[in-house]
Amino acid sequence: MDTAFSPQDLAFREEVGAFFDSAYDDELRARLHNPDPAVFPAAIVEWQKRLFEQGWIAPAWPQEYGGTGWDATKCFIFETERATRGIRDVSPFGLKMVGPVIYTFGTQEQKDRFLPSVLNSDEWWCQGYSEPGSGSDLASLKTKAELDGDEYVVNGAKIWTSYAQFADWIFCLVRTSSEGKKQAGISFLLIDMNSPGIKINPIVSIDAHHSLNEVEFNNVRVPVANRIGEENKGWTYAKALLAHERTAIAGVADSKRGLAQIKEFASREVNAGVALISDPLFQKRLADIEIDLMALEFTELRVLASVASGGAPGAESSLLKIKGTEMQQAVQELMMDVAAYYQGVFPGELSDEEVGHDFGPMAFRNYMYGRAATIYGGSNEVQKNIIAKAVLGL
């Protein structure tokens, strides 16, 4: 048992840090954090292209498909160095979700067609899983795909689709059979967002931003060649994807960064001449979170190590998802309390200087949208059901 970094790991950390420091410059950072939809999407693509050119866009992918071949330690170092600097993570839909499904289950033609543009970010993906009537009970989904010659005709609606308004492609779970178990009639389709019959209805979220959408499908024609794997086997592929997604959702490194920011802000906030960071009540709250996070960091390392030695993330990814999202929310809540009155200042209303505070609006946005983390990627309640069944055998 040992988690010490080897000299090679330490050299790697230097290399990664140096790259981030030069490639993620202040000008790019400002554009990435600009909520204006005319600004940040292009900035995301620009940043991802810089990572692509460096060869680091998809650290966890197998080398033959454009991954790095790094071991779990190196992936951990990369992630930690990124989050420590407050660098925005890559958009997950192509790189962390559909990409792995395509290289694992796709045909050679699908790999050749889609993987390059996922890696170089020329095409933007979104996810079509949830439906208005199918949330926690995802397998009850009703969006229907009926075979007509060498095309499927798709009808139905998907919801909570992040950034559908920028997407070129959507990967969808659709119903191709209503016989047998509901999980057994689902197929996995890749659908061009420019297809006739697709309509996007924006959904404004609790933080007053528009990132979510409902996507309607009215007789949308999709070539059978865009189906992943076998018909009616989509649930198997989706489950594999969800395990990856949940492992990524834990966001331990980002929570650590949040905690570091809280410490910095709490040193500046002063109540009756006493810095908040020196207040024993505050220290107790901070320590409660930090201790849980120290544990979670090692839980994540244990999972990563087992994946690196050939295991696939299974029910452990549910544990990481539950605790990770709970910790994110705990960090966001404490940040709100540090911001005091300024937690309520609406982002973009006045400049930070005019308002007199520089992290209140950020705390607000993170906290409010952060409420979604225990809901998306399979609600935490469903994750508990998975653990109860798969781990406890209940």
Partner 1 sequence: MNFDFTEEQEMLRDSVARFIQDEYDFDTRRKIAASDAGFDRDKWNTFAQLGWLSIPFAEEYGGFGGSAADVMVVMEQLGKGLVLEPYLATVLLFGNIIQNGGSQAQKDEYLPKIIDGSCLGAFAYLERQSRYEMADVKTTAQSNEDGFTLNGEKVVVFNGANADHFVVSARTGGEQSDQQGISLFLVAADAEGVERANYRTMDGQVVANVLLNNVQVSQADVVGEPGAAFGLIEDIVMKANLGLAAEALGIMEQLNSKTVEYTRTREQFGVAIGSFQALQHRMVDTFMSYEQTKSLVYRAVCALSDEQEDAATAVHALKVMVDKAGKHIFAEAIQLHGGMGITDELDIGHFAKRLMMINTTFGNGDYHQAKFNALRYN
Active site residues: 245
Closest to partner 1 by CB, 134 or 318: 134
Closest to partner 1 by CB, 240 or 368: 368
Pick the binder of partner 1 from 18, 30, 225, 270 (CB under 8 A).
270
Pick the binder of partner 1 from 153, 198, 362, 368 (CB under 8 A).
368
Q: Are residues 129 and 378 in contact, defined by beta-carbon separation less than 8 angstroms? A: no
Least distance from C-beta 281 to partner 1, angstroms?
5
Q: Can residue 160 be called a binding residue for partner 1 (CB under 8 A)?
A: yes
153: left (phi over 0), alpha (psi -120 to 50) or beta: beta
Least distance from C-beta 208 to partner 1, angstroms?
6
Least distance from C-beta 236 to partner 1, angstroms?
20
Q: Can residue 355 be called a binding residue for partner 1 (CB under 8 A)?
A: yes
| Size (the chain), residues | 394
Pick the binder of partner 1 from 89, 292, 333, 352 (CB under 8 A).
333
User: How far apart, in Å, are the Cα atoms of 49 and each of 36, 86, 207, 360, 370?
Assistant: 20, 18, 29, 31, 27
Structure tokens at 156: 């139905």
Could you tell me how many residues of this chain bind partner 1 (CB under 8 A)?
A: 54
The residue to which tokens 């007789």 are assigned: 219
Half-sphere exposure of 78 toward its Cβ, with a 13 Å CA cutoff?
A: 17
The amino acid sitting at 171 is F
How many Cβ atoms sit within 10 Å of the Cβ of residue 142? 15
Half-sphere exposure of 28 toward its Cβ, with a 13 Å CA cutoff?
A: 18
Closest to partner 1 by CB, 197 or 348: 348
Closest to partner 1 by CB, 17 or 35: 35
Closest to partner 1 by CB, 152 or 364: 364
User: How far apart, in Å, are the Cα atoms of 233 and each of 171, 176, 250?
Assistant: 15, 10, 27
The closest of 345, 335, 346, 342 to 255, measured between CA atoms, is 335
Pick the binder of partner 1 from 180, 273, 310, 393 (CB under 8 A).
273
Residue 344 CA to residue 323 CA, distance in Å, equals: 27
Residues 64-123 that bind partner 1 (CB under 8 A): none
The closest of 177, 137, 313 to 241, measured between CA atoms, is 313
Q: Are residues 178 and 185 in contact, defined by beta-carbon separation less than 8 angstroms? A: yes
x/- letters, 293..332, toward partner 1 (CB under 8 A): ------------------------------------x---
Least distance from C-beta 96 to partner 1, angstroms?
21
Q: Are residues 327 and 289 in contact, defined by beta-carbon separation less than 8 angstroms? A: yes
Q: Can residue 159 be called a binding residue for partner 1 (CB under 8 A)?
A: yes
Q: Are residues 286 and 334 in contact, defined by beta-carbon separation less than 8 angstroms? A: yes
Residue 325 CA to residue 309 CA, distance in Å, equals: 26
Q: Can residue 353 be called a binding residue for partner 1 (CB under 8 A)?
A: no
Which of the stretches 53-61, 128-136, 173-181, 306-314 binds partner 1 when contact is defined by CB under 8 A?
128-136
DSSP string, 127-159: EE--BTTBSS-GGG---EEEEETTEEEEEEEEE
Pick the binder of partner 1 from 76, 217, 342, 359 (CB under 8 A).
342
Q: Can residue 381 be called a binding residue for partner 1 (CB under 8 A)?
A: yes
Least distance from C-beta 171 to partner 1, angstroms?
19
Positions that interact with partner 1 (CB under 8 A): 130, 133-137, 140, 159-160, 203-206, 208, 212, 269-273, 276, 279, 281-282, 285, 329, 333, 336-337, 340-346, 349-350, 354-357, 364, 368-369, 371-372, 374-376, 379-381, 384
